[in-house]
């Protein structure tokens, strides 16, 4: 069966520090991968999606970046965090039919 792992679960980082959140998927190949951010009262905001290794599409301009070094690995990064980067980050994957998304447990990021 397919599973998705996301870590860490919680993270407290100072302003200006770097960020690396990792997401891996097991039990499937060539998934579409997504990073969402959930801020209080603002629902889910799609940040990045990837349809294959090295293929990243950005939905929202910001100081975050994403990479997909392997088929089932998706990384969210930042060189310098801002206070506004605080939020709940969710990784998700869809099969090629794109008719259902499966989510990781999320990472609660607090920038202080």
Partner 1 sequence: AQSVTQLDSQVPVFEEAPVELRCNYSSSVSVYLFWYVQYPNQGLQLLLKYLSGSTLVESINGFEAEFNKSQTSFHLRKPSVHISDTAEYFCAAVRTLGSQGNLIFGKGTKLSVKP
Q: Which is nearer to partner 1, 14 or 43 (CB)?
A: 43
Sole window of 12-20, 33-41, 62-70, 78-86 interacting with partner 1 (rule: CB under 8 A): 33-41
Least separation in angstroms between CB 98 and partner 1: 4
Among 19, 24, 34, 81, binds partner 1 (CB under 8 A): 34
DSSP of 42-99: S-EEEEEEEEETTEEEESS-SSEEEEEEETTEEEEEESS--GGG-EEEEEEEE-TT-S
Among 2, 3, 105, 110, binds partner 1 (CB under 8 A): 105
Is the Cα dihedral 106, 69, 101, 18 positive or negative? positive
Tell me the three state secondary structure of residue 29.
coil
Site for partner 1 in 44-103 (CB under 8 A): 44, 46, 49, 51, 88, 90, 92, 94, 98-103
Q: How far is CA 49 from CA 52, 65, 69, 90, in A?
A: 9, 11, 13, 12
Binding-site ranges for partner 1 (CB under 8 A): 6, 32, 34, 36, 41-44, 46, 49, 51, 88, 90, 92, 94, 98-106, 108
């Amino acid at each position: 069966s397919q599973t998705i792992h996301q870590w860490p679960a919680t993270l407290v980082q100072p302003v200006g520090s770097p960020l690396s959140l990792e997401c891996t998927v097991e039990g499937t190949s060539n998934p579409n991968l997504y990073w969402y951010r959930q801020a209080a009262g603002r629902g889910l905001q799609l940040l990045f999606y990837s349809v294959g290794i090295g293929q990243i599409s950005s939905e929202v301009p910001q100081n975050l970046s994403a990479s997909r070094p392997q088929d089932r690995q998706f990384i969210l990064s930042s060189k310098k965090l801002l206070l506004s980067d605080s939020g709940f980050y969710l990784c998700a994957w869809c099969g090629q039919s794109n008719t259902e998304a499966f989510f990781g447990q999320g990472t609660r990021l607090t920038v202080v």
